[in-house]
Amino acid sequence: MIRHIIAIIAGALTVAAIVYMANLDKEAQKFQKIKEIIEKSKLEVPVSKQKVEQAQPQKEEESEEEKKLKVLKEKAGRMSAFEVSPLYRRNCASCHGINGEGAVGPKLVGKTKEDVLNALKDFKSGKRKNYVMFGLLNNMKDEDLESLATEIGTFEQKLKASE
C-alpha cells in the first residue's frame, strides 16, 4: 500500500516538474523575442543624406518617379519637429514616435521628467510589467534613464517652440 502511495506521489511530482519546465521554456522564449527586438532597435538610423546613400546603394538607372519617391522617403525618415538624441531615437522613437507623439507606445509629450524617470525605473525593476520596456531598459545605466527622462520632459516645450 505504501509503495502505491509513493508511486502516486512520485508520478504527481514528475508531472508537476514537466509542467514547471514547460512554463520556464515559455518564459525563456519570451525573453529571446525581447532580446531580438532589442538587437533590432540598436541598429543605427541613418541621419545624413550621405549616410542614407551609403546604406542604400543606388540602382544604375532610376526613373524620374523613383527618384522623386526616394527623395520623399528620405525626407519622411528625417521629419521631426525638433532634434532628439541618438539615445532616444535608437531606443524609444520606434514605439513612442520621433517626437514622443505616440505610435505603438503611449504619447510622451506633456510628461514631466519625474513621471518619466519613475516609469522607466518601474519598468526596469519589473514593478510595471512590460516585456519590451523591461528588455530595453534592463541593460541601460541609471544615467541613461536620467538623460532620457530629462529629454522627454522637454518635448512639450520643444514642440510648442517649433510651431
Cβ of 84: how many Cβ atoms within 10 Å?
A: 20
Q: What's the pLDDT tens digit per position in 40-88? A: 776 655 555 554 455 555 555 667 777 666 655 554 444 567 788 889 8
Which of 84, 86, 105 minimizes the C-alpha distance to 94? 105
Q: What's the pLDDT tens digit per position in 108-159? A: 989 999 999 999 999 999 899 888 898 888 889 999 999 999 999 998 888 8
pTM higher than 0.75 for the full model? Answer: no
Question: What number of helices (H) and strands (E) belong to the chain?
Answer: 9, 0
